[in-house]
Chain A
Amino acid sequence: MKAVIDILDLSKDEILELIDTAQDIIRDPDKYAHACDRKKLATLFFEPSTRTRMSFEAAMYELGGHVISMSSAGSSSAAKGESVADTAKTVSCYADIIAMRHPKEGAAYVAAMNASVPVINAGDGGHCHPTQTMADLLTIYREKGRFDHLTIGVCGDLKFGRTVHSLVGAMSRYEGNRFILISPEELKLPSYVKQEVLKARNIPYEQTTDLEKALPKLDILYMTRVQRERFFNEEDYLRLKDSYILTTEKMKLAPENMIVMHPLPRVNEISVAVDNDPRAAYFKQVLNGKYMRMALILKLLGIKP
């Protein structure tokens, strides 16, 4: 394996292998503290990111490796007009592995085609963000103990939310799962995802605009932010941004063993008071993301401590 561009690049067995590694790292971090000695991760972030970038950097440091990066896209040779292909070829000479975020869809694929070292897609516009989905999967596995026979509610921006598309794709591969798609009319899950993923695999789903009605049925509630950067029109963003706000009042409608997930950052779609609810799993997701990134770096570098 040379690159992970889409979560579906990983088979179910590979996902389980990564989860095993991540859980082993959690159990015995010292065993991995020097696994990547003398190895270098290049983080190429062509658009702003806090948590993904820091998560990759923390992951590499905890494996004993080093991180090299550019301070911002504006200061890189990309600003001088260098192509993604040339950047990938060049950085391959410096680093053992690349994590790249880029605003354009397909940029990570171009990098992977041209780099001589493994490339991890750390987000390519509205297209894919596989390591976020890996964090989601480890969270589901640790909190629910399984990937099958779950009712998963996804709520908010289902149109532009790449994490939603990836999660729906990834969880559709397991038996007995069903989805409740909760969004305003304008931000419904794109028809191609429904057609090519849910209908093609006979996955039951329902669409609703009513979060309160859906809550009692859920094993997992995956909240998302309405992302300003995905809108061409500011008016549409302002009209839709507060469509759903999860409060402690609404949480009373949810089953006791439901978990609340969110890819973060949140704006106001989950009120801060919900953080104290034991069902809130979104900060665990952040930590799980680091462990899964550690597992993925090890796998792509072919290192088994």
Chain B
Amino acid sequence: MNIDSIQNGIVIDHITAGKGLRIYSLLGLDQTDVSVAMIRNVHSSKMGKKDIIKIDADMDVNLDVIGYVDPGATVNIIRNGVLSEKRSIPAPEFLKGVIRCKNPRCITSTEQELPHVFRRWGNIYRCVYCETKAE
């Protein structure tokens, strides 16, 4: 399968196979009109299979989303067709405005203006208000 290389944009690489669509959705890439390639189950010598997302535009990406869904995925920034920066994204300490607390008893269920914030406890995230585990 051939996908053109990009001139200016972002390549999210080394995504655990199966997690690419979640990152794609949480980054809101389905809402943009830029060229995006979501490639699933790419052969990888290190990982066996991996997903890759290529964004053909110089846009801001919420790196916390990547660290939350799949810590260890890499973000490559491409400028003028060459790799200008490569970063491995760790799991963020706090996750703000990415996912919503589903607990109907949480204060965020009635106070709509409150930001939905989650804090990392080891491998899981809990709502900072009610401590309900993120789904």
Q: Which residues of A contact B (CB under 8 A)?
A: 83-85, 102-107, 109-110, 124-127, 192, 196
User: Considering the chains assembled together, what is the distance between the CA atoms of A102 and B111 in angstroms?
Assistant: 13
Tell me whether A104 and B109 are in contact (CB under 8 A): yes
Tell me whether A192 and B106 are in contact (CB under 8 A): no
Q: Note all chain A residues with C-beta closer than 8 A to B132.
A: 105
User: Considering the chains assembled together, what is the distance between the CA atoms of A104 and B132 in angstroms?
Assistant: 13
Q: 17 other contacts beyond A109-B107, A109-B129, A110-B114, with CB at 8 A cut-off? A: A84-B111, A103-B105, A104-B107, A104-B110, A104-B111, A105-B105, A105-B107, A105-B131, A106-B108, A106-B127, A106-B129, A109-B128, A110-B107, A110-B111, A124-B107, A126-B105, A127-B131
User: Considering the chains assembled together, what is the distance between the CA atoms of A125 and B130 in angstroms?
Assistant: 9
Question: Smallest CB-CB separation from B109: which chain A residue?
Answer: A104
User: Considering the chains assembled together, what is the distance between the CA atoms of A107 and B114 in angstroms?
Assistant: 11
A contact patch SS: mixed
User: Considering the chains assembled together, what is the distance between the CA atoms of A103 and B128 in angstroms?
Assistant: 17
Q: Which residues of B contact A (CB under 8 A)?
A: 103, 105-111, 113-114, 121, 127-133
Q: Note all chain A residues with C-beta closer than 8 A to B133.
A: 192
> Which 7 pairs of residues, A with B, have the shortest CB-CB distance?
A106-B129, A105-B130, A104-B107, A106-B107, A106-B130, A107-B107, A105-B105
Report the minimum CB–CB distance from A240 to chain B (whole Å): 19
Tell me whether B129 and A105 are in contact (CB under 8 A): yes
Report the minimum CB–CB distance from B90 to chain A (whole Å): 22
Report the minimum CB–CB distance from B79 to chain A (whole Å): 40
Report the minimum CB–CB distance from B95 to chain A (whole Å): 16
Residue among A102, A106, A110 with most chain B CB within 10 A: A106
Q: Note all chain A residues with C-beta closer than 8 A to B106.
A: 104-106
Report the minimum CB–CB distance from A124 to chain B (whole Å): 8
Question: Smallest CB-CB separation from A107: which chain B residue?
Answer: B107
Report the minimum CB–CB distance from A202 to chain B (whole Å): 16
